[in-house]
A and B are shown apart, each in its own frame.
Chain A
Amino acid sequence: MTEVNWTALIIFVALFAFITWLGFAAASWRRGDLDLLHEWGLGGRRFGTLITWFLVGGDLYTAYTFIAVPALAFGAGAVAFFAVPYTIVAYPIFFIVFPRIWYVCHKHQYITAADFVRGRFGNRWLALAVTITGIVATMPYIALQLVGLQVVIGALGISGTGFAADLPLIIAFVILAAFTYSSGLRAPASIAIVKDVLIYLTAFAAVIVIPIELGGFGKIFAAVPAQKLLLATPGPNTTGAYSAYATLALGSALALFLYPHSITGILSASSGGAVRRNAALLPGYSFMLGLLALVGFFALAAGVAALPEYASGFKEFGNNFAVPALFLRSFPSWFVGIAFAAIGIGALVPAAIMSIAAANLYTRNIHREFINRNPTDKQEAQMAKWVSLIVKFGALVFIIFVPTQYAIYLQLLGGIWIIQTLPAVILGAYTRWFNDWALLVGWTVGIVVGTVMAAAVNLTPTYPLQLAGYTFPGYTALYTVILNIVVAIVLTPIFNAITAQQTRFDETAASDYYA
């Protein structure tokens, strides 16, 4: 581990240098006035079908995904494959809902989901709830991208003590911060193309080369312990692993597009048609994710955990080291460089988009709403640029000084929190029936109960819900968003009666939601 893999390192650094140049050069790509927030923060809403495909794909399939999904397969087995049904059901949801959201946001020049909620429901506090949820859920997600980066840097053999240990990470982050600041969303959009090509190359190489080396899929799965091969069959009076698996997939899919970085990616599309086409084309990435989940089993079959040369890596990074160790074992050094660069760049693209999304939210929905109501366009864009720096710096400090496990816990909670914006954002795209205060109470109940439930199961994702003598283990986020919706439905007529509002505020019209 302490030995530096020079060939891999040189290729890794060269690819990083290339994307750094690309990130800065992107400022003049489809040139727009970067002193306008929608130019900096949404790429001027100028991305066609193909660029949106790369951008949203680069956005959703993060470095952490590439490390953590196989790591879960490596550690826990079949349950990790929930990532597959998750992406399968995510895109139909995207296909049905998000063209509507794109149209209304385009029509009213909304830049964030909170902008939409503000315009639809006219309640700045509900919009604030959506904003804060978005920012808080995004921060640990950015931090986790750094974990992905840390693992590959460690696997390249770069190590040190104290400040020197964190230096490569800091350098990568300064680069990221600089090009995001100067180019806005155009930077991750252009780099996403490079990232996705590298990731596809790596994924296909991994599923072709490694099984050949290991003697075929048959041998690989024969080496996987029986209890990891399938979900455990539920015992009496419980739906066991089955309901946990299905609710994790469905809940994660519902939460996915509520994350600010997803919405930023979608809103940067140049047309509703581009959004629709992307919903039909994005499953192209799902297949890659499925293949990568299999890579965890390859690592298991290759027995990387038992090899002495990787012992220190596993000691430092745990199961997250499974994929890098497998690549080191299976690929020639030059390709290790490419594969690790793919993961490293795969960290920077989502981190850039996430920080831009958080910056858009702060600037539009906190600063403009509560602090300076009439900023000039230039002030607004400048504010967003600064906030994107602060957000990234915060994530960097977090990952350097706080144990990684905390970022993982927070990201888990973030999923439970962000799904609570579903009634206002997704149901809100269909109906103005809900009372805005009822939505806010529903959100509060969802957040509080979700957090308590997660704490009760020691910050694991599934909660064993007891009903009439049966146990239904399931994803806390899904359970609590149902509670949230029920509360909002029950309270809406009550609140409407109390306030006796004659007309409901709504600056959108039914015809704003389609072409």
Chain B
Amino acid sequence: MSLGVTMTSLANKGRGWSWWYLLLLVQFVAVLWPPFYNRIEPYWIGLPFFYWYQLLWIIIGAAFTGIVYFATED
């Protein structure tokens, strides 16, 4: 909660840098480091971990981008 408030106050509305952009970096780390996910177990609906993990990150990444979109206005 307090983190959220801090983040909001740091969010520089408009032109320049916003701390919210750091949220976008999370997905880089999550999907560009194969040792995190180059495994078969656990399966999910028959999909090996390697596949469903990366598909899941499409959704998480889209959600993060959406959050940053609303947090940083033009």
Query: Which A residues have a C-beta under 8 Å from some C-beta of B?
Result: 78, 81, 84-85, 87-89, 91-92, 95-96, 99, 216-221, 229-231, 233, 241-242, 245-246, 249-250, 272-273, 276-277, 279-280, 283-284, 286-287, 290-291, 294, 513-515
Contact = CB atoms under 8 A, between A and B. Distances in A.
Contacts of B54: 81, 84-85, 88, 290
A86 to B, nearest CB: 9
A85 B74 contact: no
B46 interface: yes
Given A276-B74, A290-B55, A217 B46 contact: yes
B65 A230 contact: no
A230 B62 contact: no
Contacts of A514: 14-15, 74
Contact of B65 (A229, A242, A280): A280
Contacts of A220: 46
Contacts of B66: 280
B32 A89 contact: yes
Contact of B48 (A96, A219, A230): A230
Contacts of B62: 91, 280, 283-284, 286
Contact of A229 (B32, B34, B40, B59): B40
Contacts of B48: 221, 229-230
A279 B68 CA distance: 11
Interface residues of B, number: 34
Interface in B39-62: 39-40, 43, 45-48, 50-51, 54-55, 57-59, 61-62
B46 A221 contact: yes
Contacts of A91: 61-62, 65
Contacts of B45: 216-218
Contacts of A81: 50-51, 54
A233 B50 CA distance: 13
Nearest to A99: B74
B58 A287 contact: yes
Nearest to B53: A84
B47 to A, nearest CB: 5
B67 to A, nearest CB: 9
Contacts of A89: 27-28, 31-32
Given A92-B24, A95-B65, A230-B39, A246 B58 contact: no
A277 B69 contact: yes
Nearest to A285: B58
A231 B38 contact: yes
A13 B15 CA distance: 49
A511 B28 CA distance: 30
- Tell me what chain B mostly uses at the interface: helix, strand, loop, or mixed: helix
25 contacts: A81-B51, A81-B54, A84-B31, A84-B57, A85-B54, A89-B31, A91-B62, A92-B61, A95-B24, A95-B69, A217-B46, A221-B47, A230-B39, A233-B38, A250-B28, A272-B74, A273-B74, A280-B62, A280-B66, A286-B58, A287-B58, A290-B54, A290-B58, A291-B55, A515-B15
Interface string B21-41: 100110110011111001110
A281 B38 CA distance: 28
Nearest to A288: B58
A242 B61 contact: no
Nearest to B31: A85
Given A78-B50, A89-B27, A290-B54, A279 B69 contact: yes
A39 B42 CA distance: 53
Shortest Cβ-Cβ A-B pairs, 10 listed: A217-B46, A218-B46, A283-B62, A85-B31, A92-B24, A515-B74, A280-B69, A242-B34, A514-B15, A246-B32
B55 A84 contact: yes
Nearest to B64: A92
B74 A230 contact: no
Given A99-B74, A229-B50, A283 B65 contact: yes
Contacts of B68: 95, 280
Q: Determine which residue in A85, A273, A286, A287 has the highest number of CB atoms from chain B within 10 A of its CB, and name it.
A: A85
Contacts of A283: 58, 61-62, 65
Contacts of A231: 34, 38, 50
Interface centre among B31, B34, B51 (most CB of A within 10 A): B34
Q: Which of B21, B25, B69 has its CB near the most chain A CB atoms (within 10 A)? A: B69
A105 to B, nearest CB: 15
Contacts of A84: 31, 54-55, 57-58
A294 B38 contact: no
A246 B33 contact: yes
B59 A287 contact: yes
